[in-house]
C-alpha cells in the first residue's frame, strides 16, 4: 500500500509485540476510527512505539453529524475548549462589577462584540484541530479525512478504499440526544450554542447536568435572559447533595431564573420566536414566549450506529455504548474501544487515559505500568459560576460504603468579594475515613475550585491523611488554605448513622 511508512525511530525498550514481525497482509498494525481525545491519544502513542498507525476523522465543522466532525473531536471543537472560552468571556462581567466596588470608574456599561469573540474562537479551534493532525503525523501516524466504516473485524473502508487492519480501535465518541418532546426540531443542542452567529436575548436551557449548568451560567453572565429548567429539585444529580444545594443557591444569587421540577412538553414557533410550554411536577402548565433559543442539554448517545459494527459481533450495552474489558478490549479479539463511545466516564482526561493505556498495552514495553486505565477516584468539575469541583466519595456515598467517617466543611465569603459582591460564597468540604484517617472525598463550590481540587485529587491518589493536611502550612490569603485549616468535624457518622 502506498503512503504508509513505518516510523523509523524505533523505541529503545522491548515492545509488547514484535513490530518487525507484523503480518504483511495488514496495511496497518493499528487503525483508529475517530480523531477525538481518546482516538488521537491512542494513535499517537502507538505510532511513537513504532506501530504502523492509521486514523480517520470526518471533515471539520462546528456541528457534528454523520458526515461532519473534525480532528480534535468534541473536546476541542464543541466541548471543553469553546465552552471554557465562553466561560472566560462571561467572567469579565463580574470582574467589571468587582472593579467598580474596588473604586474603578467604568464610565459606560461595557459591551461585548460577539462577532469578534466568536470569530477569534473559530480561528483558534481551527488552529488546534490542525495541531491534532500535525502531532499525529509527526509521530509517524497517517491521517485520513473521511468516514470510517467497519467491513469486517480486519477491514475498514474510508472514502471507498479498504484497508486491512491488525488491531481496530473504535473511538467515535458521543453526540447530543434530544428527548421526544413535541417540536423538538425547533430546539438546538450544545454544538449549536457553542457556535452562535448572534447572542440571543432570551434563552431556555433544559436539563440539570454538566452542560445545562455550564451553559445557563455562561449565557446569564453574558447578559442573556436565561431560564434554567430541570426535572429534579436540585441540579447535578450524583454530586454531593450539600454541594448541589449550595451551587444552586449561588446560581440564583447571580439572578438567574431557575425553574426546578419542570419539563418542557411542547416547543412551537409564534411570531418568529419560540414558545416553550412546561409541565411542572405540581401545578398547571405554563409557557415562556419570545424565546430566541431553546437548548436541550439532556444527555448524549454513543456513536455506534451506521459505522458497520453490526458486521462484527461487537457487543453493545443497553444504551448503545461499546462494552469493553479493563484493557478496553471488546468481545472481539482485535477490536478495541476508548472514550465516550464506551459509556464509562465521559470526560476528556479519561478518554486520553484509556487511549494511552491501550497503546501501551498493545505496543508498549512488556513491563509498562500504564496498561490498565484506572477509573477509580476520578476528579471532575462543572465549570458553572461558581465552579463545583469534586473528587472521591460524596457524603451520601460514604454513608453507604464507608459507614464510619467525619465531614469537615466551611462556607465563607472569599476575600476578594468581601469588598464587592458579599452574597458570593464558597464551600469547601472534606470527608475523612474515621478508621484510617485517610481523606476519601474533597468537594468545593467556588471560584477556581477546579484549579484547587486538581492538586487535592493527586493527594487522595497518594493516600493523604487528614493529619498531613493539618500539618501542611497554608498559602495565605487564599480560599485553598481552608483545606488545611478545617480542624473540627462538622458531622460524624458511625455505622452509617449521623451522631448527635
Ligand atoms: C459541551 C461539552 C462540554 C464538555 N466539557 C468538558 C470539560 O470541560 N472537561 C472534560 O473533561 N470533558 C468535557 N466534555 C466531555 C469531553 O468532550 C468528552 O468526554 C471527550 O471529548 C470524549 O473524547 P472521545 O475521543 O471519546 O470522543 P470525541 O471527542 O467525541 O471524538 C470522536 C470523534 O469521532 C469522529 N467520528 C465519529 N464517527 C466517525 C466515523 N464513522 N468515521 C470517522 N470519524 C468518526 C467524530 O467526528 C469525533 O471527532 C464536554 C462535552 C461537551 C459536549
Ligand atoms: N465540565 C465537564 O467536565 C463537562 C462538561 C460538559 C459535559 N461533560 C460530560 O458530558 C456528559 C454529557 O453531559 P450532559 O449535561 O448532556 O449530560 P448529563 O447526563 O450530565 O445531564 C443530562 C441531564 O438531562 C436531564 N434529562 C434527561 N432527559 C430529560 C428529559 N426528557 N427532560 C428533561 N430533562 C432531562 C437529566 O435529568 C440530567 O440532568 C456528562 O456526563 C459529562 O461527563 C463534562
Q: Can you tell me the mean pLDDT for 51-59? A: 98
Return the higher-pLDDT residue of 200 and 109: 200
Confidence of residue 7 (pLDDT cuts 50, 70, 90): very low
What is the per-residue pLDDT for 366? 82
What is the per-residue pLDDT for 16? 53
Among this protein's residues, is 476 annotated catalytic?
Answer: yes
pLDDT at 462 over 50: yes
Which pLDDT tens digit goes with each residue over 357-382? 999 999 999 877 788 999 999 999 99
Is 148 annotated as belonging to a binding site?
yes
What is the per-residue pLDDT for 11? 42
Q: Can you read off the three cell numbers belonging to residue 254?
A: 447571580
Q: Can you read off the three cell numbers belonging to residue 116?
A: 469578534
Nearest residue (by CA) to ligand 2, atom 1, is: 382
Nearest residue (by CA) to ligand 1, atom 9, is: 80
What is the per-residue pLDDT for 369? 74
| Whether 450 contacts 382, CB under 8 Å | no
Say which DSSP state 417 is in.
G
Please state, in angstroms and rounded to a whole number, the distance separating the CA atoms of residues 257 and 239.
Answer: 22
Report the candidate in 452, 300, 450 with the shortest Cα–Cα distance to residue 384. Answer: 450
Nearest residue (by CA) to ligand 2, atom 18, is: 209
pLDDT at 442 over 50: yes
CATH topology of domain 184-298: FAD/NAD(P)-binding domain (3.50.50)
Listed in order, strand segments (DSSP E) in 5-101 are: 28-33, 53-57, 59-60, 68-69
Q: Identify the residues whose C-beta falls under 6 Å from ligand 2.
A: 179, 206-212, 214, 230-231, 263, 297-300, 346-347, 380-383
CA 33 to ligand 2 centroid distance, Å: 25
CA 237 to ligand 2 centroid distance, Å: 10
Is 146 annotated as belonging to a binding site?
no
Confidence of residue 114 (pLDDT cuts 50, 70, 90): very high
Q: Can you tell me the mean pLDDT for 313-326? A: 97
Which pLDDT tens digit goes with each residue over 204-222? 999 999 999 999 999 999 9
CA 138 to ligand 1 centroid distance, Å: 22
Please state, in angstroms and rounded to a whole number, the distance separating the CA atoms of residues 291 and 431.
Answer: 43
pLDDT at 50 over 60: yes
CA distances from 454 to 80, 322, 444 (A): 16, 29, 11
Side-by-side strand order, sheet with 380-382: 380-382, 387-392, 439-446, 426-433, 405-412, 491-494, 497-498
pLDDT at 5 over 80: no
Mean pLDDT of the chain: 94
What is the per-residue pLDDT for 21? 46
Query: What percent of the chain stands above pLDDT 70?
Result: 95
Cis peptide upstream of residue 477 (ω within 30 degrees of 0): yes
Predicted complex ipTM: 0.98
Confidence of residue 9 (pLDDT cuts 50, 70, 90): very low
**If DSSP states are collapsed to H, E and C, what string results for 353-367?**
HHHHHHHHHHHCECC
pTM, 2 dp: 0.95
The string of DSSP codes covering 96-148 is HHHHHHTT----S-----HHHHHHHHHHHHHHHHHHHHHHHHHTT-EEEES-E
CATH topology of domain 19-175+301-363: FAD/NAD(P)-binding domain (3.50.50)
Please give the number of the atom of ligand 2 that sits closest to the Cα of 232.
37
Q: Can you tell me the mean pLDDT for 340-348? A: 98
pLDDT at 500 over 90: no
Confidence of residue 19 (pLDDT cuts 50, 70, 90): low
What is the per-residue pLDDT for 3? 36
Burial degree of 411 (CB within 10 A; 0-12, 13-18, 19+):
middle
Confidence of residue 426 (pLDDT cuts 50, 70, 90): very high
Q: Can you tell me the mean pLDDT for 211-234? A: 97
What is the per-residue pLDDT for 13? 46
Q: Identify the residues whose C-beta falls under 6 Å from ligand 1.
A: 33-39, 56-58, 64, 69, 73-75, 79-80, 83, 147-148, 171-174, 190, 211, 303, 307, 339-341, 346-349, 351, 383
Return the higher-pLDDT residue of 16 and 275: 275
Which pLDDT tens digit goes with each residue over 123-180? 999 999 999 999 999 999 999 999 999 999 999 999 999 999 999 999 999 999 999 9
Q: Can you tell me the mean pLDDT for 413-422? A: 91
What is the per-residue pLDDT for 191? 98
Please state, in angstroms and rounded to a whole number, the distance separating the CA atoms of residues 100 and 92.
Answer: 12
**Phi and psi angles of residue 438, each rounded to the nearest 5 degrees, phi first:** -75, 145
CA gyration radius for the chain?
A: 25
Question: 233: Cβ–Cβ under 8 A, 6 or more apart, which residues?
Answer: 260, 261
Is 3 annotated as belonging to a binding site?
no
Q: Can you read off the three cell numbers belonging to residue 483?
A: 483545606
pLDDT at 15 over 80: no
Q: Can you tell me the mean pLDDT for 88-116? A: 94
Task: Give CATH 3.50.50.60 domain extents, the chain.
Answer: 19-175+301-363, 184-298
pLDDT at 420 over 70: yes
What is the per-residue pLDDT for 22? 54
Please state, in angstroms and rounded to a whole number, the distance separating the CA atoms of residues 489 and 430.
Answer: 9
Please tell us whether the domain made up of 386-492 is placed in CATH 3.30.390.30. yes
Which pLDDT tens digit goes with each residue over 257-271? 999 999 999 999 999
CA 488 to ligand 2 centroid distance, Å: 36
Q: Tell me if residue 351 falls in helix, strand or coil.
A: helix
Report the candidate in 126, 292, 113, 118 with the shortest Cα–Cα distance to residue 194. Answer: 118
pLDDT at 405 over 50: yes
Question: 389: Cβ–Cβ under 8 A, 6 or more apart, which residues?
Answer: 379, 380, 381, 382, 443, 444, 445, 449, 450, 452, 453, 454
Report the candidate in 345, 303, 336, 308 with the shortest Cα–Cα distance to residue 320. Answer: 303
Amino acid at each position: 500500500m502506498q503512503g504508509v511508512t513505518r516510523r523509523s525511530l524505533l523505541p529503545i525498550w522491548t515492545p509488547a509485540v514484535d513490530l518487525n514481525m507484523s503480518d504483511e497482509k495488514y496495511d496497518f498494525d493499528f487503525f483508529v476510527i475517530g480523531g477525538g481525545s481518546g482516538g488521537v491519544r491512542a494513535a499517537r502513542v502507538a505510532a511513537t512505539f513504532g506501530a504502523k498507525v492509521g486514523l480517520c476523522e470526518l471533515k471539520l465543522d462546528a456541528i457534528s453529524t454523520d458526515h461532519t466532525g473534525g480532528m480534535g473531536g468534541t473536546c476541542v471543537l464543541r466541548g471543553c475548549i469553546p465552552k471554557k472560552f465562553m466561560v472566560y468571556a462571561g467572567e469579565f462581567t463580574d470582574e467589571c462589577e468587582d472593579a467598580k466596588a474596588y473604586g474603578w470608574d467604568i464610565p459606560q456599561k461595557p459591551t461585548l462584540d460577539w462577532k469578534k469573540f466568536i470569530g477569534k474562537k473559530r480561528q483558534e479551534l481551527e488552529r488546534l484541530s490542525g495541531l491534532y493532525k500535525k502531532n499525529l503525523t509527526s509521530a509517524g501516524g497517517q491521517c485520513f479525512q473521511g468516514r470510517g466504516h467497519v467491513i469486517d473485524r480486519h477491514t475498514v473502508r474510508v472514502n471507498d478504499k479498504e484497508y486491512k487492519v491488525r488491531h481496530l480501535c473504535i473511538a467515535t465518541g458521543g453526540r447530543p440526544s434530544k428527548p421526544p418532546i413535541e417540536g423538538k426540531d425547533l430546539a438546538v443542542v450544545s454544538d449549536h450554542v457553542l457556535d452562535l452567529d448572534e447572542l440571543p436575548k432570551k434563552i431556555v436551557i433544559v436539563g440539570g447536568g454538566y452542560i445545562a449548568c455550564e451553559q445557563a451560567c455562561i449565557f446569564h453572565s453574558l447578559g442573556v435572559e436565561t431560564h434554567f429548567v430541570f426535572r429534579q429539585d436540585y441540579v447535578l444529580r450524583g454530586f454531593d447533595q450539600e454541594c448541589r444545594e449550595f451551587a444552586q443557591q449561588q446560581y440564583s444569587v447571580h439572578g438567574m431564573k431557575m425553574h426546578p421540577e419542570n419539563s418542557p412538553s411542547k416547543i412551537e414557533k409564534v411570531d418568529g420566536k419560540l414558545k416553550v410550554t412546561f409541565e411542572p411536577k405540581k401545578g398547571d402548565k405554563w409557557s415562556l414566549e419570545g424565546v430566541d433559543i431553546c437548548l436541550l442539554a439532556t444527555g448524549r448517545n454513543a456513536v455506534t450506529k451506521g459505522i458497520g459494527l453490526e458486521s462484527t459481533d461487537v457487543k453493545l450495552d443497553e444504551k448503545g455504548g461499546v462494552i469493553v474489558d479493563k484493557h478496553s478490549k471488546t468481545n472481539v479479539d482485535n477490536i478495541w474501544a476508548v472514550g465516550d463511545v464506551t459509556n464509562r466516564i465521559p470526560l476528556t482526561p479519561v478518554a486520553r487515559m484509556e487511549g494511552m493505556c491501550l497503546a501501551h498495552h498493545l505496543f508498549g514495553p512488556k513491563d509498562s505500568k500504564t496498561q490498565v486505565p484506572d477509573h477509580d477516584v476520578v476528579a471532575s468539575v462543572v465549570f458553572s459560576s461558581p465552579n463545583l469541583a469534586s473528587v472521591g466519595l460524596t457524603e451520601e456515598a460514604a454513608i453507604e460504603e464507608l459507614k464510619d467517617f467525619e465531614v469537615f466543611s466551611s462556607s465563607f465569603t472569599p476575600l476578594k468579594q468581601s469588598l464587592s459582591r458579599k452574597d458570593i460564597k464558597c464551600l469547601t468540604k472534606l470527608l475523612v475515613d474515621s478508621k484510617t484517617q485517610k481523606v476519601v472525598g474533597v468537594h468545593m463550590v467556588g471560584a477556581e475550585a477546579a484549579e484547587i481540587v486538581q492538586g487535592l485529587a493527586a493527594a487522595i491518589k497518594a493516600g493523604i491523611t487528614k493529619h498531613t493536611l493539618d500539618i501542611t502550612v497554608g498559602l495565605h490569603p487564599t480560599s485553598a488554605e481552608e483545606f488545611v485549616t478545617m480542624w473540627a468535624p462538622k458531622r460524624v457518622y458511625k455505622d452509617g448513622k449521623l451522631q448527635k
